[in-house]
Structure 1
């Protein structure tokens, strides 16, 4: 977990224990590592790179942890206790919230690591936290992608969708996606370990025999599975959805169109920078980028892009759940029942949620027959 899990997904080339001079930094975000280019005989000593991340990131990650925890926990609470899991979409929303929580789970450890500059939780926790980080990342991206396919089937292939858009099929698909996420994260579970580096205990990937090809492979794995394929699916699905929405003449048509654009733009905004930097890092691993100054600024860009990508796990509940009218009705119901229970009000017995459930049921039926309602 060196330099915040050795950058996004632990793929920093300057601090993995492969073919370089190990750092002796006071902070994982201080950019005081050396990068050695063996073919050129160059030892790149860092200069004065901005040090603000060492104080900025602990604060940011603490805020993201609180926001992500509350938002995704609310989604799970409402879906499992009040709304119940009845459709394929519900199954995907639940799994997306779980994936984001798994991703968020690593943030307190990053905060501690950034402040103390030491890994103090042991080798087992090093592997567990790094694995949770990567599994959460991949599963979150996978469920965003499958939800795009789900909306595409419901709107563009509505006749065919009636046969396959069931909760059972959603559970089966979700299990498959979790297995894939775990499999592609296995190298991190294997290589991440607690290491004593210049009297500093760190949680970083250790590649045997100085084999840097694993690092390059990991970067390209993220680029392809975590960005290229999902982006292609999102563009195809939502382009088809937009064409279908343009044929509708309902009141919420433009609201649905705006939501489609928000989903695509947010994904591009928060995941493209880190993938670009990871690609450049792969070029550095292969010594195609061998400029010392460029390498220094690539370190800083990696930190900033990683922080930007973390924000996405806090936005998923807002984009996919809280904007929906049906979910907002259930959320209001949940808060009303909880408020009544906590206050032990006299009128609680009179409130049983029948009126709200009836309204939600009617809304659900009308939405299921509406293209716009499927998006919202």
Structure 2
């Protein structure tokens, strides 16, 4: 998975655009593009960091505080939040890198942070896939789900998923390295000499497959089955549930498809159209813009997969009233009738709870 602040230092350099890009044997200057990215990326990533950190920390706190990890869906939600946090904690380093124009954290930190970034982003994708499959089993194959959706299965499947994530992120760790070029320190992806173009194209093809094609395929298959079940089910909440399905798929596509397309076109630009320096610079800017959109998805995950749940909102209100909101001299506490574990008459149906992961 690509590294943030890519336009200035890492992803575009991995694609062959560090300072100069040689198109048709003529050098193409990239310094104006890099200057633009150095100005725009730090504040944008600072916003993503702040919002994403707050949202995902609240998900982790609520899950642990109210001890609802006995539900398979919540185990996956916790791992999804951890994946987002793993990515988000690397952002301050990339922000500093983009602002200063060179890497200041050493050789080992370059590899470590590149690995954390990739693990976080792949983890986000894979646990969204697991959440989608979990909803599919709970609604379409309810009897089987009663036996299969256990805490033990959630722990084992999460462990196996993290092992897979580490293995998939190994290329980022192996190929990322800090280097000194005439006093300019950079953290870049350096592929083997001679086969650099092949490695770069394989690198982008892997990103496209794992971060877009695979999750979209799983979503289409699983949510199609869910919609068929909801249509047959005489439940007054089914239309709201189907709208939620549509929102989940559209949001994922809007956030990730443009970035994957921009990376693909950049890697294969000489194959699809006649290249020029101006065209290459435009693709660089497109990668920068779509990268910000894609990484903002880590801020959206808590909203879609947690905050939308009625019970989660109850727990959140309870938490803020008890530990955050302060009246003169004391905290506001819930009355017994406002206890978050109480299920109100307005709570979603069981079917909708299974669909949106309400806990």
TM-score (norm 2): 0.89
Alignment CA distance shift 1:170-1:8 (3 Å)? farther
Aligned equivalents of 2:185, 2:8: Cα separation in 1? 20
Residue 283 of structure 1 deviates from its aligned partner by 0.9
**Residue 355 of structure 2 is aligned to residue 375 of structure 1:** yes
Partner of 1:28: none
**For 1:198-253, what per-residue CA distance to the aligned partner results, in whole angstroms no more than 9, with x for missing partners?**
32111111223343122221111111111111110011111211222223343433
Residue 328 of structure 1 deviates from its aligned partner by 1.1
Partner of 1:139: 123
**Residue 273 of structure 2 is aligned to residue 293 of structure 1:** no
**For 1:14-70, what per-residue CA distance to the aligned partner results, in whole angstroms no more than 9, with x for missing partners?**
x23x8x6x74xxxxxxxxx21124xx4333335965954332221111111010000
Partner of 2:47: 63
Could you tell me which of 285, 289, 303 is aligned with 2:288? 303
Aligned equivalents of 2:229, 2:163: Cα separation in 1? 33
Partner of 2:342: 359
Alignment CA distance shift 1:353-1:203 (3 Å)? farther
Alignment CA distance shift 1:249-1:2 (3 Å)? closer
Instruction: Confirm or deny: 8 A CA contact 1:11 1:215 kept in the other structure.
Output: no
SS in 2 for 1:209: coil
Give the aligned length.
355
Residue 170 of structure 1 deviates from its aligned partner by 1.0
Partner of 1:150: 134
Unaligned runs of 5+ in 2: none
Instruction: Confirm or deny: 8 A CA contact 2:10 2:187 kept in the other structure.
Output: no
1:80-159 matches, cutoff 5 A: 80-159=64-143
SS in 1 for 2:291: helix
**Residue 150 of structure 2 is aligned to residue 166 of structure 1:** yes
* CA RMSD, 1 decimal: 3.0
**For 1:111-147, what per-residue CA distance to the aligned partner results, in whole angstroms no more than 9, with x for missing partners?**
1111111111111111111111100010100011111
1:10-29 matches, cutoff 5 A: 10-12=10-12, 15-16=13-14, 23=18
SS in 2 for 1:85: coil
Residue 335 of structure 1 deviates from its aligned partner by 2.0
Instruction: Confirm or deny: 8 A CA contact 1:11 1:218 kept in the other structure.
Output: no
Instruction: Confirm or deny: 8 A CA contact 1:9 1:134 kept in the other structure.
Output: no
